[in-house]
Structure 1
């Protein structure tokens, strides 16, 4: 969600950042994602966590057709686009400054008959949550949203607001630092958390979370 500027000395894969267009195949569609890291930082690049989570959705790990889903900190919108192509009604969210960029990717990659099932909407974690109904979504998706410690409490507050008793959260991430593990420990105080997938090539984990003592319907 946070728009973090890229530093040339950070060692991030340069080719990925410089490529203005990234092409993928999901849900029997070719998806072309525009990237613009110079303007929007790391939020405007497709990272491995988004690819792994999109693949996991495509595998049928959760029921998407007809479900109400939200993607948090969507950045380029890839995960939300894939969820929509697989049949979900999706709200794709990020901060206000990123919305026009996000909308351009969504509109470019969804067929006209699917676009009415998708909403691009502002959501800054922990703020103005009243614009979303409590427990509004069946499925909450996040790819590489666990990286800024200052946002952890706001992210937890947002997850708690959006979840109902039957909601499922899927978070895809690398465990890069101790603070990442700290967030998972914080999450476990409110939710039942399990690791449901690991991609060893990309070193990306997917964690599934639900409110404690809930059935796993999805």
Structure 2
């Protein structure tokens, strides 16, 4: 996601009088998925903004991996807009070689959470990198097995850039998992039902009505044989 766009729209997405990011403080929370207890530190501040919390959509994707008994052993994985890094960290613990990305302001938080949760024996299977959608995705390879993203569809101004980045990262064989709170005011449904299907096949895997969260499996379109 482009940093300038986040800065311009952060307080319109989460109004300043909500008080969510107005003061600097940290919060530690524990979550258990797939037999692993994840201790995640969240750094709430105006600098981190929406990258600070563990969002419900991220927990929903972790829960899906648990229910499906997912293994990423031998798989190449990248997470977009990672925030705290909880999803990417779980993917590392499930055997993946994982690149966890976000804007530069969030990287320290991610690295700290990796250090707290990933044993030294498998730390080599994780790396943290800055990635601005639509701008520098060309620095990353195109042969990922999985692309992960949770609650990254909330600014219509970034949707085109996000699609460009997904097209690059999933150019070959990647399966994309996206979990989102379906916020009407952010046209999230439009992204999944109109914008993304122009470029990918999109399958709704499950929906949490209570939390208004959808989980999608997204894959490259198969070209039809017109012989």
Please confirm whether the aligned pair reaches a TM-score higher than 0.5, indicating the same fold.
yes
SS at match of 1:34: strand
What does the per-residue CA deviation read over 1:58-105, in whole Å, with 9 as the maximum and x for residues that have no partner? 223654221111100000000001111111111000011211121111
User: For 1:160-179, what aligned pairs fall within 5 Å after superposition?
Assistant: 160-177=167-184, 179=187
Is 1:199–2:208 an aligned residue pair?
A: yes
Is 1:122–2:139 an aligned residue pair?
A: no
Structure 2 spans left out of the alignment, 5+ residues: none
Is this contact kept in 2: 1:27–1:85, CA < 8 A? no
1:213 to 208, 212, 222: 222
Is this contact kept in 2: 1:136–1:162, CA < 8 A? yes
Indicate the structure (1 or 2) with the bigger Cα radius of gyration.
2
Q: What CA RMSD, in Å, does the superposition of the two structures yield over aligned residues? A: 2.2
Structure 1 length as normaliser, TM-score?
0.88
Aligned to 1:70: 78
Moved runs in structure 1, 4+ residues, more than 4 A? none
What CA distance in whole angstroms lies between the structure 2 residues aligned with 1:190 and 1:36?
36
Cα distance change, pair 45–191 in 1 and its aligned pair in 2 (3 A): same
Number of positions where the alignment pairs a residue of Structure 1 with one of Structure 2 = 210
Structure 2 length as normaliser, TM-score?
0.85
How far 1:182 moved relative to its partner? 1.7
Is this contact kept in 1: 2:138–2:168, CA < 8 A? no
What CA distance in whole angstroms lies between the structure 2 residues aligned with 1:121 and 1:92?
6
Is this contact kept in 2: 1:138–1:164, CA < 8 A? no
What CA distance in whole angstroms lies between the structure 2 residues aligned with 1:27 and 1:63?
10
How far 1:8 moved relative to its partner? 5.1
What does the per-residue CA deviation read over 1:34-78, in whole Å, with 9 as the maximum and x for residues that have no partner? 111224112110010000001111223654221111100000000
What does the per-residue CA deviation read over 1:90-135, in whole Å, with 9 as the maximum and x for residues that have no partner? 10000112111211111111111121100111101111222112x2
Aligned to 2:148: 141
What CA distance in whole angstroms lies between the structure 2 residues aligned with 1:170 and 1:183?
14
SS at match of 2:164: helix
User: For 1:15-164, what aligned pairs fall within 5 Å after superposition?
Assistant: 20-38=27-45, 39-60=47-68, 63-133=71-141, 135-164=142-171
SS at match of 2:62: helix
Structure 1 spans left out of the alignment, 5+ residues: none
